[in-house]
Amino acid sequence: MSDTASKSLSLAESATIAIVADLQVALANLLETAEVDAVDVDCSAVKSIDAAVLQCLLVNRRVAAANGKHLRLVQPSDDFRRIAAYVGLVDDLLAA
């Protein structure tokens, strides 16, 4: 049995630049925890999301991968997918 675990957090219906600082701190804290090998971000409630939040998620996904961890965006809403596609990040954010 592994000593590592996954943790999760959820994005709100409206994910804007106003939450980026808190989101960055939360993701960094989770990804820096030795016992955590994956962080799942539930995107099912998202109705609006701006580029700042998408960029934060993308950067943290890359940081996680560089450190042998995973940042997974799970259950993306249709609106999340549409907006991520609009800014050209859907493949980078939602790739397995």
Can you tell me the distance from the alpha carbon of 42 to that of 15, in angstroms, rounded to the nearest whole number?
A: 12
pLDDT bin (cut points 50, 70, 90) of residue 95 is confident
Residue 41: give the domain boundaries. 5-94
pLDDT bin (cut points 50, 70, 90) of residue 3 is low
Per the structure, how many domains does the chain have? Answer: 1
- The pLDDT tens digits of the residues spanning 51-91 come to 999 999 999 999 999 999 999 999 999 999 999 999 999 99
- The pLDDT tens digits of the residues spanning 5-42 come to 889 999 999 999 999 999 999 999 999 998 999 999 99
CATH number of residue 18's parent domain: 3.30.750.24
